[in-house]
């Protein structure tokens, strides 16, 4: 499925300089098409494993058609999604880019921005990670459709991972001004924001640092824009002893900060470890 081996020194340098790294051909276009085909059933609530995802933020009979549709942790509900977002290659890339001993999944995102769907606010992923020690993410964003600036593609602010950490966006979905909090952060940092609007073919992708500001504008094209994101953290991550994660804190055992691999599986480590249950979980289910 993945077309890349491991990041070379130049890619690691550019990731650390810019806060993100574009990979034009990350997964096979046929794999991107197979994954895109999962979106309709997922958002209809047809879950292949029978298990609900952790967050299911858009439903046809409930939510406005001009909102970006989002599901989090679809890997628990759909093994096609799981085979992509839990792939060892993602763990290897995130660990090498961030200098971690390995990487485990924090959560995945299934994102569907149909024609006319409104923006997602610029934000830093690490602003939502205060329940994790260390509170650091590295993410792999995968385009399942060819992306364009007019089509509401994801946008990154160059070097913004060095601006310090801002609070979470006041309104994440469909804010009036999706750039405002990013511009305020730029002002505090004394920086002029340089925005990169990512245009890649289906199967292209981006790795981004957890402190890099990113968001997306309205889809003003007549084409759907679907993406899958694997948000990783260090393989050594633990729960914060007192800061509560309002969704993922439900997986914390009383009296322990250990993260259970059943909920936060390890994708890859430098010394060859990967959560044992993954092999059987990913091999079972429809091919």
Q: Contact positions toward ligand AKG, by CB under 6 A?
A: 109, 111, 120, 125, 139, 141, 154, 214, 216, 227, 229
Q: How far is the CB of 90 from ligand AKG (least distance, A)?
A: 13
Cis peptide before 275 (omega within 30 of 0): no
Closer by beta carbon to ligand AKG, 206 or else 237: 206
What sign results for the dihedral spanned by CA atoms 174, 20, 5, 73? negative
- Rounded to an integer, what distance in angstroms lies between the CA atom of residue 274 and that of residue 266? 5
Closer by beta carbon to ligand AKG, 143 or else 237: 143
- CB atoms inside a 10 Å sphere around CB 95: 24
Q: How far is the CB of 72 from ligand AKG (least distance, A)?
A: 10
Q: 96 forms bridges with which residues in the sheet?
A: none
Q: How far is the CB of 64 from ligand AKG (least distance, A)?
A: 17
- Among 244, 280, 245, smallest CA distance to 262 is for 280
Closer by beta carbon to ligand AKG, 181 or else 274: 181
- Rounded to an integer, what distance in angstroms lies between the CA atom of residue 122 and that of residue 168? 10
Closer by beta carbon to ligand AKG, 23 or else 154: 154
Strands 102-113 and 225-234 turn out to be: antiparallel
Closer by beta carbon to ligand AKG, 154 or else 182: 154
Q: How far is the CB of 164 from ligand AKG (least distance, A)?
A: 19
H helices of the chain, where?
Answer: 9-18, 29-36, 39-44, 79-85, 88-98, 180-189, 277-283
Backbone dihedral region for residue 264 (phi beyond 0: left; psi -120 to 50: alpha; all else: beta) = beta
Q: What is the 3-state secondary structure (H, E, C) of 5-48?
A: CCCCHHHHHHHHHHCEEEECCCECHHHHHHHHCCHHHHHHCCCC
Closer by beta carbon to ligand AKG, 230 or else 269: 230
Closer by beta carbon to ligand AKG, 216 or else 221: 216
Q: Which residue is nearest to ligand AKG (CB)?
A: 216
Q: How far is the CB of 272 from ligand AKG (least distance, A)?
A: 28
Contact (CB, 8 A) for 121 and 181: yes
Q: How far is the CB of 140 from ligand AKG (least distance, A)?
A: 9
């Amino acid at each position: 499925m993945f077309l890349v081996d491991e990041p070379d020194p130049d890619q690691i340098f550019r990731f650390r300089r810019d806060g993100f790294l574009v990979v034009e051909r990350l997964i096979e276009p046929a794999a991107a098409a197979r994954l895109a085909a999962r979106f309709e059933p997922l958002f209809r609530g047809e879950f292949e494993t029978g298990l609900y995802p952790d967050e299911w933020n858009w439903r046809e009979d409930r939510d406005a058609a001009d909102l970006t549709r989002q599901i989090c942790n679809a890997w628990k509900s759909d093994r096609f999604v799981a085979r992509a977002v839990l792939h060892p290659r993602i763990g290897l890339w995130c660990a090498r880019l961030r200098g971690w001993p390995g990487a485990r999944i924090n959560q995945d995102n299934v994102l569907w921005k149909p024609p006319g769907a409104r923006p997602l606010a610029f934000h830093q992923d690490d602003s939502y990670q205060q329940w994790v020690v260390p509170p650091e993410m590295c993410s792999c964003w995968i385009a399942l459709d060819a992306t364009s600036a007019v089509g509401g593609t994801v946008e990154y602010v160059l070097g913004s991972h060095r601006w310090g950490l801002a609070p979470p966006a006041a309104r994440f979905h469909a804010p009036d001004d999706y750039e405002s909090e990013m511009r305020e952060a730029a002002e505090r940092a004394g920086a002029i924001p340089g925005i990169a609007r990512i245009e890649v073919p289906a199967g292209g992708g981006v790795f981004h640092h957890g402190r890099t500001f990113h968001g997306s504008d309205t889809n003003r094209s007549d084409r759907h824009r679907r993406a899958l994101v694997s948000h990783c953290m260090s393989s050594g991550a633990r729960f914060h002893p007192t800061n509560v994660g309002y969704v993922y804190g439900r997986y914390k055992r009383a009296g322990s900060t250990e993260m259970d691999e059943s909920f936060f599986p390890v994708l890859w480590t430098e010394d060859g470890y990967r959560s044992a249950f993954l092999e059987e979980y990913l091999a079972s289910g429809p091919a």
